[in-house]
Structure 1
Amino acid sequence: ISAVLLVGAYKTIEEDDLKFPLIYGEGKKARVLATIGVTRGLGDHSLKVHDSNIYIKPFLSCCPEVKVYPLAQCEHGADDVLVLGTDGLWDVLSNQEVAESVGCFLANCDPDDQHRYTMAAQDLIMRARGVLKDRGWRIANDRLGSGDDISVYIIPLMYGNKQN
């Protein structure tokens, strides 16, 4: 006997849904057990499938992964940065594309320009949004640009007042 549960407007959860892969889709369409967006679980301590008593807890944590980086113990240059962005950025640009874009942008800026990190963040936003064409927002290689909200912070890692 197989139990079937109707889940809101998403889909019917069946026994096969509890097998790998647990995450279906990519980018914005990625869903845990084909029901809940991966980032939607942050802070949701119950983590139940919508309108049910099925717990998703074994597959999704409401606690974000936190890593500590010993900033003061490492040497950094003016172009060493942390890029903090929302899914509107990461859904359309890879880590490699972001790193190359920021690296190239900062290399072409005056190192004394106090606005260079803000301008690099604005450049990333423009790259992720793309240009509006007849078929929607498009980025490099005619890929879809982000239709989502995009927030980006570029945080320099150079510790203290050291200058290169």
Structure 2
Amino acid sequence: MSLHDDAVLVLKGYEGQPELRELYLEHLAARPDGMYKPCTGVHVTASALVVDPTRGRVLLTLHRKLNMWLQMGGHCEEHDATLAAAALREGVEESGIDRLALLPGGPVRLDRHETPCAWHLDVQYAAVAPADAVERISEESLDLRWFAYDEVGSVADASVVRLVEGTLARL
């Protein structure tokens, strides 16, 4: 099964945000290349909010290009077998934490946002960090920092706040 096919199945099974979900499915129906960065104008991305439920906190990255506190995430790559695998890969690469585990139940949210390269149709997952996790900043970040759940609204935009709220509801 291709990454494109997996994304269609994941989105068809996602029960929230029906209008946005339909937009994603229409994009994928029209664009066989719609999963990857070379698909100009708009493409699907995958992200993972790294959480530490035992300490009540989330790990955010200060994105180098956007200069915003965000969850880990980015473009799908040819070797990603599934959307979940792409989100987990991004989480590991950007957090430096090797043993992340995605929360069961599929994506937490969908978020459509404009970036300098294109519109991103982001499929957002949540990943639990192990108790002994040690984060390591990547070249894509200016900073990497843990924030208490109630601190996120003071540093990040509304999309990240909604992702944290969805993740807490899932936990």
Shorter-chain TM-score bucket reads under 0.3
Q: RCO greater where, 1 or 2, for CA within 8 Å and sep 6 or more?
A: 2
Greater percentage in helix: 2
Query: Between Structure 1 and Structure 2, whose CA radius of gyration is higher?
Result: 1
TM-score by length of 1: 0.27
Higher normalized strand content (fraction of residues) = 2
What TM-score, normalized by structure 2, do the two folds share?
Answer: 0.27
